[in-house]
Structure 1
Amino acid sequence: MPHWLQLMSDSLPTLLWAGVKFTIPLTLLSFALGLMLGLVTAVTRLFGPRPLALIARFYVWVIRGTPLLVQLFVIFYGLPSIGILLDAFPAALIGFTLNIGAYSSEIIRAVISSVPKGQWEAAYSIGMSWSQAMRRTILPQAARVAVPPLSNTFISLIKDTSLAAAITVPELFQAAQRIVATTYEPLILYIEAALIYLVLSSVLSALQVRLERRFARYGGMMEASR
């Protein structure tokens, strides 16, 4: 067996375990929490009182206007200077959640705004409250439109988690860095890490296509029933 292939074979279990133990949980938790934060932020900007809407707008402006890596450094290396100490994984989780929250809020805000005003009026005409109209009428329609951009955000997130290596989270990419430090074979190990990310992204892209088709069929059925 060629040397490079043997090295990749030997290192694969370590890289996969790092992905299963850190990369995937970090991605899923960050996306779920970020999506909830994004929904709250979007609704606040659209319907909240002006002071809260301004705070939400400021948060989105700051997060979208600064690099993710800088945000992670501020949380992990900067906050200890004011007495706030965080372990690497929680610091990464907070950083990615804040980042996803800001970007997803813009997507959610746009899709909620795209729902025709007649849908609100129809919901109110049958006695729904604002919260009922939002939950039963507006969000289901907005979700169908939001699937493609939010799916792309999720796929990008699983690749962006490699930045967590910079704050010592032992995820997939840092596992590759540690093996490089002992084998002195950066090209082979980094290509192997890239291939793993590529496989994950490809699987998620295939799932995204299926999800979009399912929502498209559901949307067609909803239109036909009207």
Structure 2
Amino acid sequence: MSVLLDHLPELWQGLLVTLQLTVASFVGAAVLGVLVTAMRVSPVPVLRALGTAYVETFQNLPLLVLLVLVFFGLPEIGIKGPPMATAIVVIAVYQAAYMAEALRSGVNSVSKGQAEAARALGLTFGQSLRLVILPQALRTVVQPLGNLTIQLIMSTALAGAISVVDLTEAAKRVNLQEAQPIAIFVGSGLAYAAIAAAVGYVTGRLERRLVIMR
């Protein structure tokens, strides 16, 4: 326990970086996920094909490979970014594929009559999706999106591979100095568990509220 208190500033800073990664990546993944979902349910075949290709591609590639490829490979062609920004973009792009699938399942759960009613009122595809379909779809996928957020939190631990000093990387560095892996990594694991529990609690409350509002 004393080793955690002795290195609390480093571990706390790593935790803050993990939270920053999580929030920024979630926002990016959510925005991109909505766009990909719109493409996948679009009446335009080309857009549907592009949306499907996006999801299939990123769901079948390891996140660590993408992080290393983008951070170490793109500079070879003149494209280079700081580690933090690179991690946020890559994680967001990767997680967006999973969020898009969750959102698409929610869209498919909305009755066709809703879309037909929107068209009858003169709404365009974009308007009906934004004003009618997505608000109802989101209510059905609150828990899956919460689970994906927890997955995203755990995925940020891979950012250390490209020199981002998140909680996991900070714990590794502290362990190199102190050689007390049990205390250090158990403490770090409990921090991740606490964040995941907070996300689960919020999504559970949100899901219950939205169900009551139906």
Q: TM exceeds 0.5?
A: yes
Tell me, in whole angstroms, the C-alpha distance in 2 between the residues paired with 1:102 and 1:176. Answer: 30
Displacement of 1:83 in angstroms is 2.1
Displacement of 1:84 in angstroms is 1.5
Q: CA RMSD, aligned part only?
A: 1.5
Q: 2:177 aligns with which of 166, 173, 182?
A: 182
Tell me, in whole angstroms, the C-alpha distance in 2 between the residues paired with 1:184 and 1:199. Answer: 24
In structure 2, the residue corresponding to 1:47 is in which secondary structure? coil
Task: Report the number of matched residues.
Answer: 214
Tell me, in whole angstroms, the C-alpha distance in 2 between the residues paired with 1:123 and 1:48. Answer: 15
Tell me, in whole angstroms, the C-alpha distance in 2 between the residues paired with 1:53 and 1:204. Answer: 32
Alpha-carbon spacing, 1:195–1:94, altered in 2? closer, same or farther (3 Å): same
Tell me, in whole angstroms, the C-alpha distance in 2 between the residues paired with 1:160 and 1:129. Answer: 37
Displacement of 1:177 in angstroms is 1.1
In the alignment, structure 1 residue 168 sits paired with structure 2 residue 144: no
Match of 1:79 in 2: 74
Match of 2:7 in 1: 11
1:199-218 deviation per Cα after TM superposition (whole angstroms, max 9, x unaligned): 11112111121111111111
Once the two structures are superposed, the pairs formed by residues 62-211 of structure 1 within 5 Å of their partners are: 62-211=57-206
Q: 1:57 aligns with which of 52, 56, 65?
A: 52
Displacement of 1:17 in angstroms is 2.2
Once the two structures are superposed, the pairs formed by residues 207-222 of structure 1 within 5 Å of their partners are: 207-219=202-214
Tell me, in whole angstroms, the C-alpha distance in 2 between the residues paired with 1:199 and 1:13. Answer: 18
1:98-133 deviation per Cα after TM superposition (whole angstroms, max 9, x unaligned): 111111111111211221111112223334333332
**Structure 1: where are the runs of 5+ without partners?**
220-226
TM score, norm. by length of structure 2: 0.94
Displacement of 1:180 in angstroms is 1.1
Code of the aligned partner of 1:58: A
Displacement of 1:73 in angstroms is 0.8
**Structure 2: where are the runs of 5+ without partners?**
none
Alpha-carbon spacing, 1:61–1:216, altered in 2? closer, same or farther (3 Å): same
Displacement of 1:187 in angstroms is 2.1
Which has the larger Rg?
1
Displacement of 1:52 in angstroms is 3.0
Code of the aligned partner of 1:184: A
Alpha-carbon spacing, 1:136–1:51, altered in 2? closer, same or farther (3 Å): closer
